[in-house]
Structure 1
Amino acid sequence: MSETLLESSFAISGTFIHSTITSPLVILSDHCIGVISGKIVFIQKNDNKINDVLEKYNIDVGNIICLKGLQFVIPGFVDTHIHAPQYSNCGKCLDEDMLSWLHKYTFPTEAKFADLDFATKQYWKVVSRVVKNGTTTASYFGTIHTNSTLKLCDVIQSIGQRGIVGKVNMNRNSPDYYKENTTISVQETKRYVQEVVMRKYTLIRPCITPRYAGNCCMGLMKQLGQIARSNEIHVQTHIAETTEECDMVRKHFPENESYLDIYNEAGLLTRKTVLAHGIYLTPEDRKLIRERNCGISHCPNSNISIRSGMLDVRACLDDNISVGLGTDISGGYSPSILDAMRTAIFTSNTIALHKGPNYKPLDYQDVFRLATLGGAKVLDMEDHIGNFEVGKAFDALLVDPCVDGGPIDVFREDTMEDIIQKFIFLGDDRNILSVFVAGNDILENFVRQISSPNDGI
């Protein structure tokens, strides 16, 4: 598939599966989607009007991609919470609870990113792996190092993924080798935001990133809140991930009514705020989150792997709170949103065992929406990505459930609903043939990076 083709105009003909506000799973069989300059310009049934539509948009027959067999296209996955510098720890270092895990494994690993060469090699690896698993948009935590976080932006832009990227802030309760003072933290955050804007990335948005209230004093968080509001940019942080963390935060902020109230006082709760975890939020907390139009990133693999707890996503959705999925590597050991979808179902089923027969656990349709349109809404990007609507960017995955050597077996009696379930529960990166961001198949960039230097990692 040529780069020239994808940067101009093309159409894809076949089966499309996506979510809408009213329906978690919509199957568009025998449809055609037209893309010009990276955006969807039409969605049309393959009927006697299709030729007129193609002619209207000057899309030549030679620029039509016809899906084969049981192939289908879905929106790209949205990872609402991921720690890029922790990727090297995925699949190991899971023998501690969260706070001990930070000091024993995570802070020492993140401190290494002061070295730009080291950071560059690590960031190529993680972004490439995440893209290969179908994530077209990710909300990344960097480290406290401004220059290496800018390097993360460079890598994401080069590969072609869409990213929200934050320089981490932390001025207390961390080791001396990995800590900022308040003045430098604020100055470097301002420099980071200004530099991202000046570089005019087409796919990257800056993000204010206080690690969590236990690592930041109120003075720092208030200044970060001011930067976020004055620049109208995203905020990402952690909240109520473990009971030990909640106890620690309460001791540091005895004058605040709740953990969430700390962020509210600091001016960090906006419609562009992503709150990771939120396992131990109260009903009053959830009410305030809804009022501020914040979103929650549900990270089920991490929550189970480091024994944090289980978020009741159904309760959040019933309270009209936006929820998306996060891999939270390396607390979560998998960089795949497919894994997050499965673990979200397992978590919800476990909660259902305790809640009783009247509780409705999440099903495959629910998590499909969380992974796509739900994640887009959490990132305040639902007007641009998340499903297939005219005017939105064409961020999509071309999936082949029958790829040679793949993990899925399809049988004659399987319906398309059956096949999408099999992809959710059994599929992996082998089934993902193309990863489109703004109309460009960025897997080509992943292939190019394989030859990048790996020595010294």
Structure 2
Amino acid sequence: MQDEYIVKGNIIFTKELGKYEIFENGYIVIDGKFVKSVYKELPKKFSKLKILDYGHALIIPGFIDIHSHAPQFPNLGLGLDKELMPWLDSYTFPEEKKYSDIDYAKKVYSAFVKSLWKYGTTRSCVFATIHKNSTKLLMDLFAEAGLGAYVGKVNMNRNAPEYLLESAEESIHNTKELLDEYGKKYELVKPIITPRFVPTCSFELLKSLGELSKKYNVPVQSHLSENLSEISFVKKLHPKLKNYASVYNEAGLLGDLPTIMAHCIWLEEEEIELMVKKEAFIAHCPNSNNNLSSGIAPIRKLMKKGLNIGLGTDISGGHSVSMANVIASCAQVSKLKWLESNKSDKPLTTAELLYLATKGGGKFFGKVGSFEEGYEFDALIIDDSSLSIFKPLSVEERLEKFIYTGDDRNIKEIYVAGKKIEEPKQY
């Protein structure tokens, strides 16, 4: 356990959706990996603690990316003139074949982890591939870097190239091996049950994964209602079930344990009600939704219904590892949805977006994504002095300026669970 210490700077975070907590020239007292308290003026009882004074810098919670695909990192910016299903066949599946080669996996995965660190992503929910050994390697690399992650060995046994298919028995056996070996191996890096999506998993496989999730008390991640062609395909595969979400629910993969469903653009009302009841999370991935012509998710509507929502880069349907880039894109598509909804679904504010990118997704990890008492201290120290600032700006204006015009060069220090994280090794 680390000793108590203090960081000082211009602190901004969102305890509640849409409402900033701001402490100009404030202090965060950290005890080990946890936030003890935040102050505008430091009480005398802490006067003997070490203070890391970051001067005029902004201090914000680390970004939380609750949906990405590590093996697709080499495909950033490629094939984005296609829709989801053709894109999977042309780009995604051929790339994922390569991860049977552990040396190739190490080269790509170490670069991916380093890129997350570079852009200030302190916790991630990540898909790997069907290959158990390269999935284990990815978990080891996250742990070595000091970043938090849920990492999933992907499960597929139908409707994909032969080289990416396992039998249901083999898929479950390999997943169980990973759960046994990595369930308690690391504090910040954990396995997560990861059926790719309904089209590539037989119901037998989905149900067996649901049983594993319960037996091992492990969360779940997958995709739901991303693309209209995908939804039609699911209806053909499961004509007796009401809708796409009900397939996961019948298999025990929707909210019986913490669950993230990516995209959720075209949810039916019954599906929304089911997900609210199950307290499932939605990973909103605006870059990917735009690039693959999937649609605009009705985030304001889903928020009003009470759904848990975080943001995802969805590498490489999304073209950027930067969560700040995702926040900007999320703001833009929310304005388009406002017009599309006859101005009933108000655009998302920057304060709401910061919440989604920090505490919103952080809830999946526990007390993460805020500087409230008892939360793990994940933080970014942002030096915005290089940005085009020619007049006095408030702390919230400076944050907005960084999101829209800053980049990784403005992120000077990164903390995860109270520990300053140095640049990860790239192999």
Range of TM-score over shorter length? over 0.9
Whether 1:296 aligns to 2:306 is no
The match for 1:10 is 5
| Alpha-carbon distance, 1:7 to partner | 4.1
Q: Which residue of 315, 329, 337 corresponds with 2:301?
A: 315
User: Quick one: which amino acid aligns to residue 243 of structure 1?
Assistant: L
Residues 227-263 of structure 1: CA deviation (Å, up to 9, x unaligned): 1112211100001000000000110011111000000
The match for 2:153 is 167
The match for 2:311 is 325
Please give the alpha-carbon distance, in whole angstroms, between the structure 2 residues aligned to 1:305 and 1:252: 26
| Alpha-carbon distance, 1:423 to partner | 1.2
Residues 64-113 of structure 1: CA deviation (Å, up to 9, x unaligned): 111223x1100000000000000000011212211111111101101100
The match for 1:433 is 412
Q: Map of 1:135-284 to 2, 5 A cutoff? A: 135-197=121-183, 200-270=185-255, 271-284=257-270
Whether 1:287 aligns to 2:239 is no
Whether 1:445 aligns to 2:423 is yes
Whether 1:422 aligns to 2:407 is no
| Contact kept in structure 2, 1:209 and 1:235, CA below 8 Å | yes
The match for 1:373 is 359
TM-score (structure 2 length as normaliser): 0.97
Q: Which residue of 392, 398, 403 corresponds with 1:413?
A: 392
| Contact kept in structure 2, 1:166 and 1:209, CA below 8 Å | yes
Are residues 376 and 363 of structure 1, via their aligned partners in 2, closer, same or farther at CA, if it must alter by over 3 Å? same
Are residues 139 and 22 of structure 1, via their aligned partners in 2, closer, same or farther at CA, if it must alter by over 3 Å? closer
Please give the alpha-carbon distance, in whole angstroms, between the structure 1 residues aligned to 2:301 and 2:236: 28
Q: Map of 1:26-65 to 2, 5 A cutoff? A: 26-47=21-42, 50-55=43-48, 59=49, 63-65=50-52
Which structure 2 residue ranges, 5 or more long, are not aligned? none
Q: Secondary structure at the match of 2:423?
A: helix
| Contact kept in structure 2, 1:364 and 1:424, CA below 8 Å | no
Which structure 1 residue ranges, 5 or more long, are not aligned? 1-5
| Alpha-carbon distance, 1:346 to partner | 0.9
| Contact kept in structure 2, 1:160 and 1:445, CA below 8 Å | no
The match for 1:389 is 372
| Alpha-carbon distance, 1:306 to partner | 1.0
Residues 150-201 of structure 1: CA deviation (Å, up to 9, x unaligned): 0000000011100011000000000111111110001111001111025x21
| Alpha-carbon distance, 1:411 to partner | 2.6
| Contact kept in structure 2, 1:146 and 1:192, CA below 8 Å | yes
Q: Secondary structure at the match of 1:411?
A: coil
Q: Bigger CA drift: 359-368 or 282-291? A: 359-368
| Alpha-carbon distance, 1:275 to partner | 0.2
Aligned Cα root-mean-square deviation (Å): 1.4
Please give the alpha-carbon distance, in whole angstroms, between the structure 2 residues aligned to 1:257 and 1:138: 32
The match for 1:3 is none
Q: Secondary structure at the match of 1:236?
A: strand
Please give the alpha-carbon distance, in whole angstroms, between the structure 2 residues aligned to 1:387 and 1:54: 24
TM-score (structure 1 length as normaliser): 0.91
Aligned residues: 426
Q: Secondary structure at the match of 2:97?
A: helix
Please give the alpha-carbon distance, in whole angstroms, between the structure 1 residues aligned to 2:40 and 2:22: 12
The match for 1:95 is 81
| Alpha-carbon distance, 1:356 to partner | 2.4
Please give the alpha-carbon distance, in whole angstroms, between the structure 2 residues aligned to 1:20 and 1:225: 33
Are residues 346 and 22 of structure 1, via their aligned partners in 2, closer, same or farther at CA, if it must alter by over 3 Å? closer
Residues 392-436 of structure 1: CA deviation (Å, up to 9, x unaligned): 211000011114xxxx21232322221111112111111110110
| Contact kept in structure 2, 1:24 and 1:368, CA below 8 Å | no
The match for 1:19 is 14
Q: Bigger CA drift: 229-238 or 73-82? A: 229-238
The match for 2:381 is 398
User: Quick one: which amino acid aligns to residue 24 of structure 1?
Assistant: K
User: Quick one: which amino acid aligns to residue 433 of structure 1?
Assistant: K
Please give the alpha-carbon distance, in whole angstroms, between the structure 2 residues aligned to 1:323 and 1:242: 19
The match for 2:53 is 66
| Alpha-carbon distance, 1:23 to partner | 4.6
Q: Bigger CA drift: 408-417 or 166-175? A: 408-417
